[in-house]
Structure 1
Amino acid sequence: MKIVKPSKAVLAVSAFLSLVAIMVFRLSLPAYGDSGVSGSGGTIIVNSSGSNTIGSPGGITSSTTTKYIYYNGWPMQEVVPIYYVYTPVVIVGNPSFSTEPCLAMTTSAPIESYMEAYQLQYSAIETWNSLDATYPICRYRSGVSSSAPKVDPAQAVTTYWNQSVQNQLPVPQFSVPPGFALTGLTSFLTATCTTSKTFYDNTPIGTATIAATGELWVRWKSGEEWSGPYNSCGLPWPNGNITHVYENQGSATISLKETWSASWTLAGTSGALGGLYTSPNALTLPIYSITSEIYD
């Protein structure tokens, strides 16, 4: 199946439109790759029944994630796009297919730069056209069902959440300016963190969407209870909301963790997830006493 390589003008228009909206180029291809076969960056997404939503080789799809950046010393929330390119992959050693090696598609690893995704798009189309002349499109063997395998949505999402999302969650970093505390005065914790992120997983029964939310918890001194939750990353004095007052001088070991929960949808089913957290290294904060002396 020959994929026509677009002209540079067409690619330029495509680039503009993709920046304006989330675009998914759809194409029903007579092939299937199951979720147990890993590609270069994601699950094989070409199927034989045409029942799943899939993309064409070189197509770009996108999602967003929330990051915190500092502007003039102040943390600001920024929603940034993440791009995925549908790239060709040669499947070897899968007994489900009548002929192998055979040609299917996979999603690339997440790409933050649209220009990088745009360049990969052009390369993916050329690679598909080259491989298509050598390998057949992946098809089921005779007697193997051409419909997507039976998959329990909750089990599929939970497995992805526990095995994959945990390794993709951002780890917050924090400080307590100016690097020490004074007894009787409020200390302000400020962090660089992400409090929301969306994940996608291509499964045999469709694409799972997982909307995750993070909350911060602080332990201001070893042995004390955790304080929280906080749904923001904290601000410096005077506007911060993650605060503490130390009464005694000395030092304190401060720990921070971000707990994650999520809502998900897949194949008309929805549910909730939790139980994941990330935590940076603890911080040791000196605590000084404010004293005054009266001289005659």
Structure 2
Amino acid sequence: MCLYLTTTCGDPNSPAALNAEMQTFILLRQHPFCPNSPTRTAPQAASPAQIALLIWQTQIPLPHPAPYIAPGYAVTGKRAYLEIHDNPSLPPQHFNQLGYDITVDAASTYDIIWGDGTQSTGITSAGGPYPNGNVSHVYDNTGNYTVRIVQTWHGRYTVNGLTGTIDSPLTTEGTIQGFPVHQIEAVKLRAPAGPAPPGRCQRR
């Protein structure tokens, strides 16, 4: 078996290109070039940063936010407490690629689009229910709103005790569709006219 390599155009930092380069490097350890191969130059060994980027883009299962606002609706002028039901950080995950022991972890921030023309950005908390939740919003008008959560993930990698940043943020999203906001109106009730209850005097 021998390797027949050709040159293709495209982004050299894309997951497909990085993966092809890594696979070529691995195969060249086992097989020579074919005599008629257009390309007979071996690719350079991938750096830990490139390997970490490929792992980050193809092998890390990122969670998606699952937002909820109890009890399923809000009232104008009152705080609505958002619960994102998601972990804002990713625990370390370990990989072995091309002889490197690489650990990848991540932290995230939330951008919250409340649906009424306002948003909250750079939030680091997943919120919580009333009364202790720390992510809330006050709606001024009634209606049905789409609440959208964009979670931006920033990865890091560690190789041989050295830590680097993966320069390729990833995003996951979650929404609440048609979130209703109501208005409470005070209603004044009048007791119907009639005889006084037993044991009470009527004024004449």
Q: Above 0.5 in TM-score?
A: yes
Give 2:198's aligned residue: none
Code of the aligned partner of 1:157 = A
TM-score, normalised to structure 2's length? 0.66
Q: Normalised by the size of structure 1, how large is the TM-score?
A: 0.47
My pick for the range that moved more, 210-219 or 269-278, is: 269-278
1:159 aligns to what?
Answer: 54
Aligned to 1:256: 149
Which has the bigger relative contact order, CA under 8 A and spacing at least 6? 2
SS of equivalent residue, structure 2 residue 52: helix
Cα shift readout 1:100-130 (whole Å, capped 9, x = no counterpart): xxxxxxxxxxxxxxxxxxxxxxxxxxxxxxx
Match status 1:220 vs 2:128: no
Bigger Rg, structure 1 or 2: 2
Rounded to whole Å, the distance in 2 between the matches of 1:190 and 1:150 is 45
Alpha carbons 1:205, 1:267 under 8 Å: kept: no
| Unaligned ranges ≥5, structure 2 | 1-21, 32-43, 191-204
Do 2:147 and 2:175's aligned partners in 1 also have CA atoms closer than 8 Å?
no
Q: In structure 1, which of residues 195, 214, 228 is the aligned counterpart of residue 88 of structure 2?
A: 195
What percent identity do the matched residue pairs reach?
27
> Which amino acid is the alignment partner of residue 36 of structure 1?
Q
Q: Is the 8 A contact 1:153 1:267 kept in 2?
A: no
- Distance, in Å, in 1 between the alignment partners of 2:78 and 2:155 is 37
Amino acid at match of 1:209: T
Matched length: 155
Amino acid in the other structure paired with 1:291 = E
Report how far residue 228 of structure 1 moved.
2.9
Quick one: which amino acid aligns to residue 121 of structure 2?
G
Contact 2:76 2:182 survives alignment (8 Å): yes
CA deviation vs aligned residue, 1:255-280 (integer Å, no higher than 9, x gap): 11211112212256532124201112
The amino acid of 1:199's aligned partner reads: Q
The runs of at least 4 aligned residues of structure 1 exceeding 6 Å deviation read none
Residue deviations 1:49-83, cap 9 Å, x none? xxxxxxxxxxxxxxxxxxxxxxxxxxxxxxxxxxx
- Give the one of 210, 217, 230 matched to 2:104: 210
Residue 137 of structure 2 corresponds to residue 150 of structure 1:
no
Runs of 5+ in structure 1 lacking a partner? 1-34, 38-43, 45-93, 99-148
